[in-house]
Amino acid sequence: MSAALNFMDKSYARVWGLIKGIRHEVLRAVILFGTAATLAFFVLYPLGILLKRSLYDYAADAWTLANYIRFYSEPELYGAFLTTVKLAFVSVVVSLLIALPMAWGVSRTSMPGRTLIRSLVVLVFSTPSFLGAIGWVILLGPRAGLLNKPLQAIFGLNYGPFNIYGFWGMVFALSFFLYPFLFFSVAAALDNMDPGYEQAAKILGAGNLKVSLTVTLPLVMPSILSGVALVILESFVVFGAPAVIGAPVHVHTLSTMVYRLFSGDPPQFHMAATAAVPIVLMAGLILVFQKLYLGRKQYQTITGKSPQPELVDIGRWKYVLSAFSFTIVFTGIVLPLLALLQASIIKVWGMPVTWDNLTLNHYISIFTQSDIVVRAFRNSFVLAGGTVVVCVLFTFVMAWIVERTTFPGRELLAFLSMIALSIPGVALGLALILAFAGAPFYLYGSLWIFLVGYSVKATPIMFMFARSALKQVHEELEQCARILGAHWAKTMKDITLPLMKKGLLSVGTIVFCMKFRDMPTSIMLYMGGLEVVSVLIYEFSEEANMSSLGALSFLVLIINLALVSISRRLVGKGAFEL
* Footprint of another protein (CB under 8 A): 1-2, 4-8, 10, 13-14, 16-18, 20-22, 24, 474, 476-477, 479-487, 490, 494-495, 498-499
Measured distance CA(117)–CA(101) in Å, rounded: 12
Is 18 or 59 the residue whose CB approaches another protein more closely? 18
- The DSSP output letter for 308 is P
7 vs 72, beta carbon nearer another protein: 7
Instruction: Give every CB contact of residue 35 below 8 A, 6+ residues apart in sequence.
Output: 394, 397, 398, 401, 413
Nearer to another protein, 1 or 59 (CB): 1
- The dihedrals phi and psi of 63, each to the nearest 5 degrees, come to -75, 145
What does each C-alpha distance from 271 to 72, 81, 257, 421 come to in angstroms? 11, 13, 9, 23
Decide whether 419 or 500 has the Cβ nearer to another protein: 500
Q: Which is nearer to another protein, 250 or 502 (CB)?
A: 502
**CB-wise, 305 or 487, nearer to another protein?**
487
Task: Say how far residue 338 (Cα) sits from the centre of its chain.
Answer: 24
**Distance in Å, CB of 439 to another protein, minimum:** 45
88 contacts 236 by C-beta, under 8 angstroms: yes
The H-assigned helical ranges of 109-166 are 114-125, 129-140, 148-155
Q: How far is the CB of 14 from another protein (least distance, A)?
A: 6
Nearer to another protein, 24 or 316 (CB): 24
Pairwise CA distance, residues 143 & 327, whole Å? 26
Q: Least distance (Å) from another protein to the CB of residue 484?
A: 4
CA–centroid distance for 309 within its chain:
31
Closer by beta carbon to another protein, 18 or else 204? 18
Distance of closest approach, residue 15 Cβ to another protein, in angstroms: 9
Q: How many residues belong to the chain?
A: 578
Minimum CB–partner distance for residue 408 and another protein (Å): 11
Residue with smaller CB distance to another protein, 130 or 400: 400
Question: How far apart are CB 7 and another protein at their closest, in Å?
Answer: 6
Cβ atoms 5, 15 nearer than 8 A: no
Minimum distance, C-beta of residue 298 to another protein, in the bound complex (Å): 25
Minimum distance, C-beta of residue 393 to another protein, in the bound complex (Å): 22
Supply the minimum distance, in Å, between the C-beta of residue 481 and another protein: 7
What is the per-residue burial (b if ≥16 Cβ within 10 Å, else e) of 99-119? bbbbbbbbbbbebbbbeebbe
Cis status, amide bond into 440, omega within 30 of 0: yes
Burial class (CB in 10 A: 0-12, 13-18, 19+), 355: exposed
